[in-house]
């Protein structure tokens, strides 16, 4: 069964009787599930994808008992790697599709899990429903997902590998979200449309969210009719696009004449130009080597060749949200690392999917550096200022109007205000109790960082013995911070203090020359301070992935536990390094919230209460 295909359009049809969905960038996939058999993931061309995406098949196994009565079942969807609720990283899906080694596929499925996001119901209990109107098939899908207790609507933080795409009656609402979160585009579907295999229909319309990148013309190959374009990365001219689509015959003729009259013939049918003439290319993404789906957009004869750079391309690929008015983007922030304001804002945009879950619904304290690290001036800010735009939401607690950073616009606005550090409490606004325990491992200086490593490794061994999930990150300064997630609103600060004090006291008794719980620095000697007092109501900790206001602009970086060894150094984790890590190893804190265990921590507390005299 080949899937029904969409028709491309420049504008979204805004008509009565149409529904709208986010277009996700991945592999089109049919899920076909017969009774007493393993479900099949079938590509657009009928290729079996089960081996490439074992996490989706594995998740199907977990719901096999609940779904049996609904089989045989056929669903239409897209295999994606969700970056946020509106964007998928196609490069990750494509890379997985090319893998053949089971060990590599397994590693990738853990670091970069993919999901099947479903948008159509084709068969249920063996009954084919493709000829019923789309609106009724959508209702059937919702009922199906409710019965199976599956995620509605899509939530990129949810660990379920089968999720349902939300349909909306407002095209504007969908398009605004796609633009804001850098999604691939929007799909419009006629509510009365049926599903016809293998056919391209005008009742399903796709509109891409094109980004425009300015490149330098470098080469024309008459043999195949393609033009080449490049940008500067440092001093090197880097080819990033080969294109011919999007040109009218007149525009194509102009370009050919330009090469033949002003260029140099470098081969039998090849002409080259010195890097001096700019053009604009429309694309949907950059795959690390080339612009994806490139199309000629416009001539840019007045463009500055010196601005056709890697850095400018990044900003063109990641435009600012429309509500944000950026000021002084070239202001130096971390001179030693050559990081300016635009670099910082780009970091926030790219790391937002990992950072914002820890900021959401927390009473935020930021440290602002109005002149970057060029100046000693800095100040704490909790109150929402009067000049904040309307989209910056807040909540008033004890006469302080705390900012809530719950969306990308607020994060970018804070970044533009040069809030360089994000500090958060251990609870959300919805609970009086902590949602995590954090141990702050604070060595005397970076020279004694090995003490933090030793303490973290010993803590991990204890937590493993207790069967508690634990996570670790650098502080962005000279130490480490170890986390244990807690179920929301279940354990008080007094109860968690029993645990934190026991752990820290136990380590100090084991190695009194290395560790201490002494509050006064003058009495610590050269020992690492195990701070359990800081874990309390009203106290804050630096958020995972927040920068720090030190000279190198280090990041409070989540780590894999296997990285916590003698080779670890907190100085490694700059903005650029952390962004590259997110591409190579994913987010070590991805499963943080789902790792909280009520039963396990309650059992630990019960053991400690029996051991510790009251």
Active-site annotation holds for 23: yes
For residues 13-35, average pLDDT: 96
Helix (H, G, I), strand (E, B) or coil at 456: helix
The answer to whether residue 612 scores a pLDDT higher than 80 is: no
Cis check for the bond before 234: say yes or no (omega within 30 of 0): no
DSSP, res 305? G
> In this predicted structure, what is the pLDDT of residue 280?
98
Residues 351 and 445 in one domain: no
Q: Write down the catalytic residue from 2, 23, 35, 490.
A: 23
The CATH number linked to 451 is: 3.90.920.10
Residues 219 and 98 in one domain: no
Nearest to 84 by CA among 24, 27, 29, 26: 24
Band of pLDDT at residue 457, cut at 50, 70 and 90: very high
Specify which residues 271 forms β-bridges with: 220, 265
Q: Whole-angstrom Cα distance, residue 111 to residue 144?
A: 29
Nearest to 309 by CA among 241, 230, 211, 242: 230
Residues 151 and 283 in one domain: no
For residues 397-415, average pLDDT: 96
Residues 114 and 180 in one domain: yes
Q: Could you report the per-residue pLDDT of 247-277, keeping only the tens digit for each?
A: 999 999 999 999 999 999 998 899 999 999 9
Residues 400 and 521 in one domain: no
Q: Could you report the per-residue pLDDT of 37-86, keeping only the tens digit for each?
A: 999 999 999 999 999 999 999 999 999 999 999 999 999 999 999 999 99
Residue 249 CB contacts under 8 Å (≥ 6 apart), including other chains? none
Half-sphere exposure of 579 (CA within 13 A, CB side): 15
Q: Whole-angstrom Cα distance, residue 570 to residue 568?
A: 7
Residue 496 lies in a domain: yes
The answer to whether residue 13 scores a pLDDT higher than 60 is: yes
DSSP, res 349? H
Q: Whole-angstrom Cα distance, residue 352 to residue 557?
A: 13
Q: Could you report the per-residue pLDDT of 438-452, keeping only the tens digit for each?
A: 999 999 999 999 999
Q: Whole-angstrom Cα distance, residue 348 to residue 318?
A: 11
Half-sphere exposure of 132 (CA within 13 A, CB side): 15
The answer to whether residue 611 scores a pLDDT higher than 90 is: no
Specify which residues 394 forms β-bridges with: 403
Q: Whole-angstrom Cα distance, residue 270 to residue 272?
A: 7
The answer to whether residue 456 scores a pLDDT higher than 80 is: yes
Q: Whole-angstrom Cα distance, residue 584 to residue 98?
A: 17
DSSP, res 444? S
pTM: 0.95
Location of structure tokens 């973290």: 456
> In this predicted structure, what is the pLDDT of residue 124?
97
Residue 415 lies in a domain: yes
Band of pLDDT at residue 614, cut at 50, 70 and 90: low
Location of structure tokens 């049926």: 194
The CATH number linked to 38 is: 3.30.470.30
Residues 199 and 63 in one domain: yes
Nearest to 18 by CA among 255, 272, 188: 188
> In this predicted structure, what is the pLDDT of residue 77?
98
Q: Could you report the per-residue pLDDT of 548-562, keeping only the tens digit for each?
A: 999 889 999 999 999
Residue 324 lies in a domain: no
Residues 417 and 463 in one domain: no
Residue 323 lies in a domain: no
Nearest to 44 by CA among 25, 28, 33: 28
What number of residues does the chain have?
614
Specify which residues 20 forms β-bridges with: 168, 188
> Lowest-pLDDT range, 23-37, 47-61, 368-382?
368-382
The answer to whether residue 386 scores a pLDDT higher than 70 is: yes
Q: Could you report the per-residue pLDDT of 499-543, keeping only the tens digit for each?
A: 999 999 999 999 999 999 988 888 888 999 998 888 999 999 999
Q: Which of 207, 232, 266 is the last residue of a domain?
A: 207
Residue-averaged pLDDT of the chain: 95
Beta pairing class for 73-80 and 27-33? antiparallel
> In this predicted structure, what is the pLDDT of residue 1?
78
Residue 551 lies in a domain: yes
Residue 167 CB contacts under 8 Å (≥ 6 apart), including other chains? 19, 20, 21, 119, 138, 189
Q: Whole-angstrom Cα distance, residue 381 to residue 48?
A: 54
Q: Which of 370, 391, 424 is the last residue of a domain?
A: 424
Contacts 24+ apart (CB under 8 A), 235-238: 237/275, 238/310
Range of the domain at 503: 436-608
Beta pairing class for 264-265 and 270-272? antiparallel
Residues 409 and 521 in one domain: no
Band of pLDDT at residue 613, cut at 50, 70 and 90: low
The CATH number linked to 267 is: 2.40.50.140
Q: Whole-angstrom Cα distance, residue 414 to residue 547?
A: 13
Provide DSSP, 392-414: -EEEEETTEEEEE--SHHHHHHH
CA distances from residue 197 to 35, 42, 130, 340 in whole angstroms, order as listed: 23, 14, 9, 52
Q: Could you report the per-residue pLDDT of 278-303, keeping only the tens digit for each?
A: 999 999 999 999 999 999 999 998 89
Q: Could you report the per-residue pLDDT of 311-355, keeping only the tens digit for each?
A: 999 999 999 998 899 999 999 999 888 999 999 999 999 999 999
Q: Whole-angstrom Cα distance, residue 414 to residue 295?
A: 35
Provide DSSP, 155-202: -TT---SEEEPPPBS-HHHHHHHHHHTT-SEEEEEETT----TT-EEE
> In this predicted structure, what is the pLDDT of residue 567?
94
The answer to whether residue 454 scores a pLDDT higher than 80 is: yes
For residues 456-468, average pLDDT: 96
> In this predicted structure, what is the pLDDT of residue 522?
86
% of the chain at pLDDT higher than 70: 100
If DSSP states are collapsed to H, E and C, what string results for 365-392?
EEEECCCHHHCCCCEEECECCCCCCCCC
Residues 161 and 287 in one domain: no
The Cα angle at residue 263 between residues 259 and 264, in degrees rounded to 5: 125
Q: Could you report the per-residue pLDDT of 126-177, keeping only the tens digit for each?
A: 999 999 999 999 999 999 999 999 988 999 999 999 999 999 999 999 999 9
> In this predicted structure, what is the pLDDT of residue 305?
95
Provide DSSP, 550-613: STT--B--EE-GGG-STT--GGG--HHHHHHHHHHT--TTTTTGGG--HHHHHHHHHHHHHHS-
Q: Which of 144, 173, 207 is the last residue of a domain?
A: 207
Report how many domains make up the chain: 4
The alpha carbon of residue 157 and the mean position of all alpha carbons in its chain are separated, in whole angstroms, by 9
The answer to whether residue 215 scores a pLDDT higher than 70 is: yes
Residues 411 and 446 in one domain: no
Cβ count within 10 A of residue 443: 26
Residues 148 and 70 in one domain: yes
Residue 258 lies in a domain: yes
Residues 368 and 451 in one domain: no
Q: Could you report the per-residue pLDDT of 472-488, keeping only the tens digit for each?
A: 999 999 999 999 999 99
């Amino acid at each position: 069964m080949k899937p029904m295909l969409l028709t491309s359009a420049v504008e979204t049809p805004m008509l009565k009787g149409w529904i709208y969905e986010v277009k996700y960038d991945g592999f089109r996939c049919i899920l076909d599930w017969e009774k007493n058999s393993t479900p099949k993931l079938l590509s657009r061309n009928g290729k079996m994808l089960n081996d490439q995406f074992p996490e989706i098949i594995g998740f199907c196994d977990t719901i096999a008992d609940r779904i049996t009565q609904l089989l045989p079942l056929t669903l239409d969807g897209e295999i994606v790697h969700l970056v946020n609720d509106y964007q998928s990283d196609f490069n990750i899906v494509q890379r997985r599709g090319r893998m053949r080694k089971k060990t590599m596929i397994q590693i990738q499925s853990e670091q970069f899990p993919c999901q099947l996001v479903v948008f159509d119901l084709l068969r249920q209990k063996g009954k084919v429903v493709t000829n019923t109107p789309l609106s009724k098939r959508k209702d059937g899908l919702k009922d199906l997902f409710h019965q199976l207790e599956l995620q509605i609507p899509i939530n990129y933080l949810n660990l379920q590998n089968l999720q349902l795409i939300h349909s909306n009656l407002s095209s504007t609402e969908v398009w605004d979200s796609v633009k804001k979160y850098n999604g691939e585009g929007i799909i419009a579907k006629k509510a009365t449309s049926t599903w016809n295999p293998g056919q391209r229909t005008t009742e399903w319309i796709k509109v891409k969210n094109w980004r425009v990148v300015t490149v330098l013309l470098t080469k024309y190959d008459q043999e195949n009719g393609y033009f080449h374009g490049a940008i500067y990365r440092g001093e090197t001219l880097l080819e990033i696009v080969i294109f011919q689509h999007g040109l009218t015959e007149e525009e194509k003729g102009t370009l050919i004449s330009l090469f033949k009259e002003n260029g140099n013939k470098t081969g039998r049918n090849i002409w080259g130009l010195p890097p001096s003439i700019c053009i604009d290319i429309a694309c949907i993404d950059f795959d690390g080597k080339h612009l994806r789906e490139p199309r000629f957009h416009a001539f840019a004869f007045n463009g500055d060749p010196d601005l056709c750079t890697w850095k400018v391309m990044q900003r063109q690929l990641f435009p600012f949200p429309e509500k944000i008015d950026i000021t002084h983007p070239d202001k130096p922030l971390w001179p030693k690392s050559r990081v300016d304001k635009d670099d910082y804002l780009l970091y926030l945009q790219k790391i937002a999917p990992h950072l914002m879950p820890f900021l959401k619904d927390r009473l935020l304290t930021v440290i602002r550096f109005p002149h970057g690290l060029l100046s000693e001036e800095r100040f704490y800010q909790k109150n929402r200022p009067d000049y904040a735009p309307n989209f910056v939401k807040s909540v008033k607690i004890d006469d302080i109007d705390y900012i809530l950073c719950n969306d990308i616009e607020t994060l970018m606005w804070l970044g533009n205000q040069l809030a360089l550090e994000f500090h958060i409490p251990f609870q959300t606004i919805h609970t009086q109790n902590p949602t995590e325990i954090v141990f702050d491992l604070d060595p005397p200086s970076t020279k004694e960082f090995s003490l933090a490593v030793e303490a973290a490794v010993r803590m991990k061994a204890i937590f493993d013995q207790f069967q508690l999930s634990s996570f670790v990150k650098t502080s962005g300064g000279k130490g480490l911070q170890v986390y244990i997630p807690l179920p929301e609103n279940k354990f008080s600060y007094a109860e968690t203090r029993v645990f934190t004090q026991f752990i820290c006291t136990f380590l100090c008794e084991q190695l009194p020359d290395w560790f201490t719980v002494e509050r006064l620095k003058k009495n610590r000697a050269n020992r690492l301070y195990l701070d359990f007092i800081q874990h309390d109501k009203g106290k804050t900790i630096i958020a995972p992935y927040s920068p720090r206001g030190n000279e190198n602009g280090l990041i409070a970086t989540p780590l894999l536990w296997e990285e916590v060894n003698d080779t670890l150094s907190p100085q490694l984790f700059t903005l650029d390094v952390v962004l590259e890590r997110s591409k190579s190893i994913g987010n070590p804190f991805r499963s943080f919230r789902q790792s909280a265990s009520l039963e396990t921590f309650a059992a630990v507390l019960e053991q400690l209460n029996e051991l510790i005299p009251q």
